[in-house]
Amino acid sequence: MRETAATSASAYAKFELALEVEDLAERLYQRMASHFGDNPAARAIFERLAGEEQQHAMRIDLLRKKYMQDPARVPEIALDVEQSRQLLEEGAVLMQLLEAGDNSLTLKEAARMMVELEQRFSVVHAHAMAKSSDADLRAFFEQLAVQDREHAALLERFRSTA
């Protein structure tokens, strides 16, 4: 079945949205590393997670480029646009708190908020994986969902000791 230009545009927009989500996660972790920089353990975890989110974004970009080279082969991407936009909005609120230098935001609270975001990232990625008819996309979003759950578990362990 030949994909239409509208489907290709829709797929492109979804790849861009997925990139935005990963970029925001990376920036949040970088900002948290800076905001809680006086705690070496927190800084190390947040810097590690920022690097992993950067890798996610790079992998999404490579996948996007692969499919966009031949718009006729672009599969439908089952990324939940509304839920992804909600995640961007929630992440933006946390970013505002961090950028404002809000000292009332504790390390435990910031980690809790990121645990919740990572858990929701996992749901979005698992949904995209389950709904995708393309084997490469299924495998990719499955990996992201697993890594999101690992991030949430790491943050939860850290939060319990912070």
pLDDT tens, residue by residue, 53-110: 999 999 989 888 887 787 666 667 777 788 888 889 988 988 888 888 767 788 999 8
Domain CATH for 34: 1.20.1260.10
Q: What is the rounded (10 degree) CA torsion for 132, 80, 16, 23?
A: -110
The closest alpha carbon to 23, from 54, 46, 59, belongs to 54
First to last CA, the chain: 53
Domain coverage including residue 45: 5-161
pLDDT tens digit string along 109-152? Answer: 989 989 998 898 888 877 776 677 677 777 888 888 889 899 99
Q: Per the structure, how many domains does the chain have?
A: 1
Q: Taking each helix axis as running N to C, give the angle between helix 107-131 and helix 81-99, from 0 to 180 degrees, rounded to the nearest 10.
A: 160
* DSSP three-state, residue 79: coil
Who wins on pLDDT, 112 or 5? 112
pLDDT for res 66: 82
Cα separation, 12 vs 7, in Å, equals 8
pLDDT digits 0-9 by tens, 36-56: 999 999 999 999 999 999 999
